[in-house]
Chain A
Amino acid sequence: MIRKKLVLSALISLLLGIVTIVPVFSSRVEAQAREELSFEMWTLDWDTISVDAGDVIEQMLRDIGIRMKAMPTSEEVLYDNLDLEHTYEVYEMSRGFWAYPVDIHDRFHSEEIRDYGLNYAGYSNPEFDALIDEAFKEMDFEKRTKLLWDAQRLLAEDPPYIPLFTSDDVHALRKEWTGYHRLSGGIFNWYNRLTTIDLRHVDQEYGADFIMAYPSYIDHYNPIAADDGRSMLVMSMVFDALVSYDEDMNIIPWLATDWTISPDYLTITFNIVHNAKWHDGVPLTAEDVKFTVDFYKEQDIPYDVALMTRIESVETDGDYTVIFHMTEPYAWALNGFEDVPIVPKHIWEGKAWDWAVHPDMMPIGSGPFKWDSYLDGEWIKLVANPDFWMEGKPHLGSFTIRVIAESSARFLAIKKNEVHTERYELDIGFIEAAKMDPNLVPLEDTWCVGMWDYIIDFNQRTDPALQDPAVKKAIAHAVDKQRLVDIARLGYGTVTDTFIPPAFFGPAYEDPNAVKYEYNVFLANKILDTAGYLDIDADGIREMPAPAPDRDGDGIPDDKDACPDIPGLPEYGGCPGEVKKLEDLVKRVDSLAASVGELAALKTDLATLKTDLEALRSQLTSSINIAYGLAIVAIIIAVVAVYFARRRE
């Protein structure tokens, strides 16, 4: 009788054991003897565009046998890894362009491979570095652009990231307002000073009160420390720079009326306006400009470093002329100056650069608007500067910023005319409603190419598969960028094919010989097949290629083994160069097909069948399903146990 009890409990434990352990083992069995093309792609969790695009990309890449698992990650974790740990595999999010193509240096130059460096992928190519270094010294636009094109093409051969699209800036703006200027990056942006001075009410040329909604309060009151979009917009309205941009992203005079560059490119002389005054009445002179630059250099301010390190010294010549002596020719000197706010010497002298400008006094600048009042965390009111040095500007009487955290609430506020626009571009959720609202400026009229460029970036340090140009090119061919734009931005985006997209930086940057990767799933699959990434276990995901056999018999594992130099074989003559033309690729594929052809075709057919089955299987093996299965089993066991216990009579 005791034995029966023992047998019963033994049976029950065995059952429980099987039910628990088998799923664990089955997942173990899944683990391949060989590694798969399976990656974790981090997306930025608060950015719906990044998350949505990530989900779509995951589905697209399944078509070519790559598992790219989209994982929304917090900004903190993501940037910790990008800045310091560098252990990520793939990420997909937007980096953001500067107003001028300096990103190609920041993102790919080997000197940016360091802690807090911007070359997250770890791409290192001395030839590329040399091209960029030369380009950044080249003051002639044509020559410089050609060098940049060469660099771009070099990058495309082994792309550390794939440019996808820009999230275009469509703004919800009440139709009573006009005078905005459309620049790349949006009608409201910190380098779009033209909008700031020209914005006005349709029925009221001067003095109208404009209200903009912000998603959160500004981070800085200090114009130099301001590095977030919200603070920078405010600062660009309150402080001036020497130059600014026009609609085609050309440099135009601002505080500086004109400038001359010496023939050796080492001296830049600016003449500034004569009638500029600080908001407290003190006149603005060349001394303030000199002070600002000296201030940056003395205090080693971590901003605008590229410009500041190339300035050897600065001197004034009279009250309205500033002369900069450069250490070397710098192609982006003028663009760099657009970023530097000119600060008042009589207030800032002797202070630390990041001094808490608030709440002692509201920042005193020379710009078209000045601080009137604010409530920390809630709103800021700027009023027009009556003594602004540009005649007849600004048109607005005041510019108020209201913080409304919820995107829905912001949109509702615009509909109710409580605010007139918001800081950033319209979320896709509101685009339909905005199009139908008769009180808003038609979306097409505010549409500007966005500065937020979305990319898929591959860490060159972690997975060897990500170092293989074939894998990256295949991924590039497998992504339908227009579909991404349609889903993630409801069509309000611009596909980017190159690293310096002319859509944003200007048509002059259009490279006729640019290397582009068109959407072509067939080609993507063939590239991976040729490179040896085959789906051996037919689970829908390709495996890494087998180590190449020593085909040329010299005992050295190198490139020659992939295409041994043996008479009679198609590769006779050594490894051919980078295959750029589709015909070459097809030829190689045909030769391979001769030996492996039918097997490969069969495998791909099986693979598609298996992907469907795998989807079903994944449902069954997900942890929640196990839990439910266990629950059912547990209930059955409990019932059986109770039944037996009662039967003990």
Chain B
Amino acid sequence: MTLDTRVKTRGLLRERVSSHATRVKDFWAIYKGSRLGMVGLSLILAFIIIALVAPWLAPYHPRALVGTSFLPPTEKYLLGTDQVGRDIYSELIWGTRISLMVGVLASAFAVAIGTTIGLLSGYYRGPLDSVLMRITDLFITLPNLPFILILAALIGRNIWNIIFVIAIIGWTGTARMVRSQTLSIKERPYVEAARSIGARDSQIVIRHILPNVFPLVFANAIIGTVDAILAESGLSFLGLGDPTQPSWGMILHYANEAGALATGRWWFIIPPGVCIMLVTIGFAFSSYSLDQILNPRLRKRRW
């Protein structure tokens, strides 16, 4: 590249970054106004902080047997003990890490897969499109939970396997959406213009299509986190989670097995479920607000 081009590229880069920064600032201003969104965001942040400070916040190691079984909440054990004598409060705090990690990673992978497929499918059209769309249809028709159950049973109960399994179930929505967006953006005039000056396909995709697709993909990722967290807790509850990681779903699994419902041990059953709910509500509220903001048609409305 000549010096000229290099300077231009840097200049463009600078512009891009600062224009992104402005967009982000504008976006944040709007987002702050949405009450639901702020509630959601604060919930998410709260749980992230809990996850990060877990080793210092939790009074005990989550896997250590510290007391007698089935103790009700006391001073020593804020939420009582489980069926072998572990502190439930510590387990809940440490479980935040697992739920967040599984939720975010699984959703991120799912969205990444979906975006790739959607982009390829929408941009190149033709036989590639048909094949990819048929595969997408196939994955749509697969019932989620049974498929996850089977895969989990086949490839073993490991936290990374679970993330993988949830991810390969959840990419279809993103794929479809990205594809339709790509289709519509492709027809826009500036894309045509770019193509006529001989821009490469990858440049077009990265420079024009991705940035436009990104906000919706991001929104999908957020709502995908809800599904991923619910999927992981469902899996764990049914007994197929990673037994070495005290996720909230596993706590509920043990609680159920130990008959906490029938014997009124509410401290065993209710807190983990409430934690799951709060985290997912956080993401759901944020996703709802994001949707409201990013969808241009919605912005016209008052709410």
User: Would you list which residues of chain B between 229 and 261 have a CB under 8 Å from chain A?
Assistant: 239, 243-245, 254, 256-261
Q: Is A55 an interface residue (CB 8 A)?
A: yes
Given contacts A51-B243, A408-B256, A433-B263, A646 and B83 within 8 Å (CB-CB): no
Instruction: Using A408-B262, A619-B55 as known contacts, say yes or no to A48 and B257 having CB atoms under 8 A apart.
Output: yes
Bound form: Cα–Cα A72–B236 in Å: 13
B14's partner among A52, A55, A627, A645 (CB-CB below 8 A) is A645
Answer whether A411 and B259 are a contact pair too, CB < 8 Å, given A55-B65, A432-B70. Answer: yes
Most interface-central of A76, A427, A642 (chain B CB within 10 A): A427
Contact with A along B268-301 (1 / 0, CB 8 A): 0000000000000000000000000000000000
Question: In chain B between 51 and 65, which residues have their CB closer than 8 angstroms to a CB of chain A?
Answer: 51-52, 55, 61, 63-65
CA distance A16 to B180 in the complex (A): 36
Contacts of A488 in B (CB 8 A): 84
A-B contact pairs, 20 of them (CB 8 A): A45-B243, A48-B254, A48-B257, A56-B65, A72-B243, A407-B256, A408-B259, A412-B261, A428-B83, A429-B83, A429-B257, A429-B258, A429-B259, A430-B262, A433-B262, A487-B84, A487-B85, A624-B98, A624-B159, A645-B17
Determine the distance from Cα of A137 to Cα of B286 in the docked complex, in whole angstroms: 76
Chain B 68-84 against A: per-residue CB contact (8 Å), 1 yes, 0 no?
A: 01100000000000011
Asked if residues B70 and A646 are in contact (CB atoms below 8 Å), the reply is no
Q: Kindly list chain B residues whose C-beta atoms are within 8 Å of the C-beta of A429.
A: 70, 83, 257-260, 262-263, 265
Tell me the bound Cα distance from A615 to B69 in angstroms: 23
Known: A2-B6, A646-B18. A48 touches B258 (CB 8 A): yes
A648 at interface, CB cutoff 8 A: yes
Q: Are B256 and A628 closer than 8 Å at their CB atoms?
A: no
Measured CB to CB, the nearest residue on chain B to A43 is: B243
B101 touches A624 (CB 8 A): yes
Not counting A48-B254, A71-B243, A408-B262, a sample of 5 additional A-B residue pairs whose C-beta atoms are within 8 angstroms of each other reads: A2-B6, A407-B259, A628-B52, A628-B101, A646-B21
Interface centre among B21, B83, B256, B262 (most CB of A within 10 A): B262
**B13 on the A face (CB < 8 A):** yes
Q: Point out residues on B near A: beta carbons under 8 Å.
A: 6, 10, 13-14, 17-18, 21, 51-52, 55, 61, 63-65, 69-70, 83-85, 97-98, 101, 153, 157, 159, 239, 243-245, 254, 256-265
Q: Give the chain A neighbours of B85 by CB distance below 8 A.
A: 487
Which partner residue on chain A sits nearest B86 by CB separation?
Answer: A55
Contact yes or no, B239 A46, CB < 8 A: yes
A617 CA / B237 CA spacing, docked (Å) = 30
Whether the pair A628, B51 counts as a contact (CB closer than 8 A) is yes
Residues of A within 8 A of B63 (CB): 55
**Among the listed A56, A627, A628, which residue makes an inter-chain contact with B84, where contact means beta carbons less than 8 Å apart?**
A56
* A642 x B17 contact (CB < 8 A): yes
A52 x B153 contact (CB < 8 A): no
B63's closest neighbor in chain A, by CB? A55
When distances are taken between beta carbons in the complex, the residues of chain A under 8 Å from B258 are 48, 427-429
CB of A628 to closest CB in B, whole Å: 6
Q: Is A614 an interface residue (CB 8 A)?
A: no
Residues of A within 8 A of B153 (CB): 74, 76
**CB–CB B259/A648 < 8 A:** no
**B84 contacts A407, C-beta separation under 8 Å:** no
Min CB distance A194 to B, Å, is: 30
Q: How far is the CA of A552 from the CA of B157 in the complex (A)?
A: 51
Interfacial chain A residues near B17, Cβ < 8 Å:
642, 645-646
Bound: A642/B65 CA distance, A = 46
Q: Please, what's the 1-or-0 string for A256-281, where 1 marks a CB less than 8 Å from any CB in chain B?
A: 00000000000000000000000000
Q: How many A-B residue pairs have CB under 8 A?
A: 99
Q: How many residues of A contact B (CB 8 A)?
A: 41
Q: Kindly state whether residue A406 has any CB partner on chain B within 8 Å.
A: yes
- The 9 closest A-B CB pairs, nearest first, are A429-B258, A429-B259, A408-B262, A72-B243, A433-B263, A411-B262, A408-B261, A430-B259, A52-B84
A434 to chain B, nearest CB (A): 9
Task: Say whether A615 contacts B262, CB under 8 Å.
Answer: no
A97 to B51, CA, bound (A): 47
A432 to B101, CA, bound (A): 37
Q: Give the CA-CA distance A432 to B83 in the complex, in Å.
A: 12
> B97 to A628, Cβ gap below 8 A?
yes
Quote the shortest CB–CB distance from B167 to chain A (angstroms).
Answer: 15
Query: Complex formed: what's the CA distance from A627 to B102 in Å?
Result: 11
How many Å from the CB of A581 to the closest CB on chain B?
34
Question: Taking the complex as formed, is A592 at the interface, i.e. its CB lies under 8 A from any CB of chain B?
Answer: no
Q: Which residues of B contact A76 (CB under 8 A)?
A: 153
- Any chain B CB within 8 A of the CB of A649? yes
CB distance from A38 to the nearest CB of B (A): 15
A59 at interface (Cβ–Cβ under 8 A)? yes
Q: Are B262 and A59 in contact (CB under 8 A)?
A: no
On chain B, the residues within 8 Å of A415 by CB distance are: 262
Query: Which chain B residues border A427 with CB–CB below 8 Å?
Result: 257-259
Is A649's CB under 8 angstroms from B65's CB? no
Cross-interface CB contact of A412 among B61, B97, B262, cutoff 8 Å: B262
CB of A282 within 8 A of chain B? no
* In the complex, A609 has a CB within 8 A of chain B: no
Q: Which residues of B are found within 8 Å of A632, using beta-carbon distances?
A: 52
A490 at the interface (CB under 8 A from B): yes
On chain B, the residues within 8 Å of A624 by CB distance are 97-98, 101, 159, 245
Residue of A nearest to B245 (CB): A624
CB pair B262–A428 under 8 Å, yes or no, is: no
- Tell me how far the C-beta of B258 lies from the nearest C-beta in chain A, rounded to whole angstroms: 3
Chain A positions 556 through 579: 1 when the CB is less than 8 Å from some CB of chain B, otherwise 0: 000000000000000000000000
A632 to B53, CA, bound (A): 12
Q: Is the CB of B83 within 8 A of A48?
A: yes
Cβ distance B97 to chain A, nearest Cβ, rounded Å? 5
Interface string of A402-439 (1 = CB under 8 A from B): 00001111011001000000000001111011000000
Contacts of A71 in B (CB 8 A): 243-244
B interface footprint on A35-72 (CB within 8 Å = 1, 0 otherwise): 00000000001101001100110010000000000011
Q: What's the Cα separation between A74 and B150 when bound, in Å? A: 12
Q: What distance in Å separates the Cβ of A305 from its nearest Cβ neighbour in chain B?
A: 32
List residues of chain B with CB within 8 A of the CB of A59.
64-65
Distance from B264 Cβ to chain A, minimum over Cβ atoms (Å)? 8
Residue of B nearest to A487 (CB): B84
How distant is B173 from chain A, measured CB to nearest CB, in Å? 26
Instruction: Compute how far the CA of A476 lies from the CA of B259 in the bound complex, rounded to whole angstroms.
Output: 32
Q: How many angstroms between the C-alpha atoms of A51 and B85 in the bound complex? A: 13
Residue of B nearest to A434 (CB): B263
Min CB distance A164 to B, Å, is: 15
Measured in the bound complex, the distance between the Cα atoms of B21 and A430 in whole Å is 59
Chain A residues, Cβ within 8 Å of B157:
72, 74
Q: How far is the CB of A554 from chain B (nearest CB, A)?
A: 49
State A72–B52 Cα separation when bound (angstroms). Answer: 28
Complex contacts, B245 vs chain A, CB 8 Å: 624
Other-chain contact of B10, A409, A433, A648 (Cβ < 8 Å): A648
| A76 CA to B258 CA, complexed, in Å | 23
Query: Which residues of chain B come closer than 8 Å to A52, judged between CB atoms?
Result: 83-84
How close is A638's CB to chain B, nearest CB, in angstroms?
Answer: 12
Cβ–Cβ contact A407 & B257, under 8 A: yes
Q: Which residues of B contact A51 (CB under 8 A)?
A: 243
1/0 contact trace for A618-639 toward B, CB 8 Å? Answer: 0100011001100010000000
In the bound complex, CA of A408 to CA of B266 (Å) = 13
Name the CB-closest residue of B to A72.
Answer: B243
- Min C-beta distance of A380 to chain B, whole Å: 24
Q: Among B10, B61, B101, B257, which residue has the most Cβ atoms of chain A within 10 A?
A: B257
A-chain residues with CB within 8 Å of residue B14 when the two chains form the complex:
645-646, 648-649
The CA of A369 and the CA of B18, in the complex, are separated in Å by 85
Q: Could you say which residues of chain A place their CB within 8 Å of the CB of B263?
A: 411, 429-430, 432-433
B21: chain A residues at CB < 8 Å are 646
In whole angstroms, how far apart are the Cα atoms of A415 and B55 in the complex? Answer: 42
Report B237 CB to chain A, min CB distance, Å.
12
Residue in B closest to A412 when the chains form the complex, CB atoms: B262
Neighbouring B residues of A407 by C-beta, 8 Å: 256-257, 259, 262
Which residues of the partner chain A approach B243 to less than 8 Å between Cβ atoms?
A: 45, 51, 71-72
